[in-house]
Each structure stands twice: as C-alpha cells, then as structure tokens.
Structure 1
Amino acid sequence: MWQKSLAFVTALFLALSIGQSVLAAVDTSEMTKALNEELPTTHYDYKKGSVKIEDPKTFTNGKGEEVIGGIAVIKTVRDGIFITIKREIHFFNADSGKLLTNADAAKVDGVKEYIDSNSDNLHQKVVYWLPVLLMLLIIAVPAIVLYIVVPRLYSTSEYMNPIYERNDNPR
C-alpha cells in the first residue's frame, strides 16, 4: 500500500510540473525572426541565426497590445576565431511585429521589474579554447619539426666522414 501511494504522489508531482511548463510557454518565433533581422545592424560580428530567447514574459502596453520580453542569447564571431556569447534583454511588440526601443519598452507596465529581476543574468562570456588552441599549435608545430623531421634529413657530415676516412685525407 505504501509503495502505491508513493508512486501515485510521484506521478502527480510529475504531471503537475509538466503542465506548468506547458502553460508557461510563450511563442517567441516571431521575436527570433525580428532579432535575426535587427542584430546584424547593431552587432557587426553577429553570427546569423544564433539568437535564442530565454525566460520570455508577456506584457500588455497602454494600447492593449501584447509585448513579449526576453533575454536574447547572442553569439558573435570576430575573425573566425574569437567567439563571444552575449546576453541582452529585448522587447517585441507581437501585434505590430516590431522590436521595441528601450524608451518604448519603458512605457509598458511591469517592464522595469522584469529588467531589475533579470539584471544579474546579463553578462558576456568569451570562449577562449579556440585562440588558446591556435597559440599551442604555433608552439607545437615548430617543436615537432625540430625533434622529428630535422634529425631524419640528409646530413652532410655523416656523408663526408666515410670519404675522409677512405682517402686518408690529412685534415
């Protein structure tokens, strides 16, 4: 009996947690498309199609239009090796299909609280593994050439020594 009740309670908690995540889902596909069009103008090194929206929330502005706010995770790539991951807050008017400026978003009720609650999530992360790997290759390739390739090359001193010994050259 104890096992059945434990299984029932576990199944109930699982069902409730799945239901809440489904109800909390906000469609951010239009916002993602608008950001993919807008970000190349503000970030010259933006990697096309790399934006992802985290923690989306809907608001209603003074005109009754739906405004979606979210943290945009953006990848930028400079010179093909310097990768940066940035997190920025953006707002999107779902009815007009346009991104809102900071001044327009400030007029919407609840936006200031959303920005304050997510201000700790905004940061920039530099991916260091690729530049470090290239620097290690700059050091490793000449070392490999020195220790493996150079000793196997043609050596004039090894070639000339038997000739000197055979001719009894007085040198």
Structure 2
Amino acid sequence: MYSLTLSENDHITFQLYEASTNSEKRKSRKRSFFIFLALGLFVIILGYQKEDSFLMYYGVFCSILVICFGNTYLGWRHKKHYIKHVKNKLKDLPEEIVEIEINDDQIKVIDRVSNTKIKISEITLVNEIKSHYFLKLSTGPSIVIPKSNPALNEEVLAMISNFNLQHIIKLDWKWS
C-alpha cells in the first residue's frame, strides 16, 4: 500500500490537462476567439457605414489585439477559471492523504471519504504526463496519481502492460 498526498496543485493539473485534451472545450475556446474577432470586424464595418473614423480604427485596433493576444488571453482566463473551481471545491481541504494498492486484478483506493476497490478492467485509459498518471474509469471519473513514488510508478507501468490498457504518453504536455 502506497500513501500519497494529493495537493490542490495535483487537482489543478488534472483539470487543466482534461480541459486541454477535451475536444469540446478546445472548440469552445476557438469559438470564443472567433467571436472576439467577429466583434472587432463588426465594429470596423459599423464605423465604416457611419463614416466614423474613430470607431473604425478602434475596431481595427481591437481586431489586431485579438489576433496577436487572443489565444494567450483565453488560455490565461480559462486557467484562472479552473484554479478558482478547484480552490472552491477544496476550500477547507488543501491536501488529501490517499492510500493506493494495486493487486492482481483490482486497485484499492482509500481516502478521507471512501474505501474503494476498482477492477483494473474498468480502467479505459491511462494518461501520463511528466508529473502524473490519470487513470480514466469507465464510469467517468479519473484517479490522479502523482509520480512521487518510484515503486508505485513501476507498478502502474506493469499494470498498463499486463492488462494492455490504452496508454497515452504526453511527457512534454503543458498548459497553453
């Protein structure tokens, strides 16, 4: 049995990874970018129609800002949103002790709320980044395992190979 400490940063990393790999959330971010750009173009057209040079130049300026810094702003804004979400969710519990044991066909997870046994066959996907493993369960949630214990890391890799689990490795992943 391995004892891990899950911090706020572990949960934030998981949220950011999920947001950056979820196709719906990526589409939403692109849509926001194009909405900002369309608003700038609308102001340009409105200024042109009303023969208001200030409004037209203001639209040009805003459109250039969106093209140059729109994705950076949206990345910052979404990151801030996920950090706030995790902080609100874990308001009184900044760190959580979790015990994990990997057996022949199941994973036993003990945390402050539950004592759970999960069949390894119910793990649909293992995402690996430089600092964590995220075990996606068939029921929807994921198990977050920080790579702080080398022996546990070896057991997770052995479990992946023994059960032929789908394994996505993104060691160079970072939030953008």
Question: What interval of TM-score do these two structures reach, taking the shorter chain for normalisation?
Answer: under 0.3
Flag the structure with more relative contact order, 1 or 2, with Cα contacts below 8 A and sequence separation at least 6.
Answer: 2
TM-score (norm 1): 0.25
Q: Which has the larger radius of gyration?
A: 1
TM-score (norm 2): 0.24
